[in-house]
Structure 1
Amino acid sequence: MGRGTDTSAFPGAGLFLYDRDCGFCQRAVGFARDRLRTRTAFAAWQDVDLAAAGLTPEQADERAWVVYPDGRLLAGGDAVAGVLLASGLPARVLGRLMLLPGVRLFSRAAYRVVAANRYRLPGGTAACALPPEDTSARRTTKDR
Structure 2
Amino acid sequence: MTTPTFVYDGDCSFCTTCADFIERRIPTHARVIPWQFADLDALGLTTEECEEAVQWVGADGARAAGPDAIALMLRDAGRAWQFAGGALQLGPVRLAAWPAYRWVAEHRHLLPGGTAACSLPQAQRDLLYGKDAG
Instruction: Assess same fold via TM > 0.5.
Output: yes
Please say if residues 17 and 45 of structure 1, whose CA atoms lie closer than 8 Å, have aligned partners that are also in contact: yes
**1:130 CA drift (Å):** 4.4
RMSD of aligned alpha carbons: 1.4
Is residue 106 of structure 1 aligned with residue 96 of structure 2? Answer: yes
Identity %: 42
Is residue 19 of structure 1 aligned with residue 9 of structure 2? Answer: yes
What are the superposed Cα offsets for residues 10-54 of structure 1, whole Å, 9 maximum, x if unpaired? Answer: 50xx20001111100110001111112222210111111212222
**1:88 CA drift (Å):** 4.1
| Partner AA of 1:94 in structure 2 | A
**1:78 CA drift (Å):** 0.5
Aligned partners of 1:33, 1:55: CA distance in 2, in Å? 22
Normalised to the residue count of structure 1, the TM-score between the two structures is 0.78
SS in 2 for 1:82: helix
Is residue 95 of structure 1 aligned with residue 89 of structure 2? Answer: no
**1:95 CA drift (Å):** 0.6
- Which runs of structure 2 are paired with 1:10-89 in the superposition (5 Å)? 11=3, 14-89=4-79
Aligned partners of 1:23, 1:96: CA distance in 2, in Å? 27
Aligned partners of 1:90, 1:119: CA distance in 2, in Å? 31
SS in 2 for 1:70: coil
Normalised to the residue count of structure 2, the TM-score between the two structures is 0.83
Q: Compare the two structures and name the one with the higher helix fraction.
A: 2
Flag the 1:69–1:91 CA change in 2: closer, same or farther, 3 A: closer
Unpaired runs of 5+ residues, structure 2, are 122-134
Q: Which structure: larger Rg?
A: 1
Unpaired runs of 5+ residues, structure 1, are 1-7, 132-144
| Partner AA of 2:113 in structure 1 | G
Aligned partners of 1:121, 1:31: CA distance in 2, in Å? 16
**1:69 CA drift (Å):** 2.5
State the aligned residue count.
121
Specify the alignment match of 2:112 in structure 1: 122
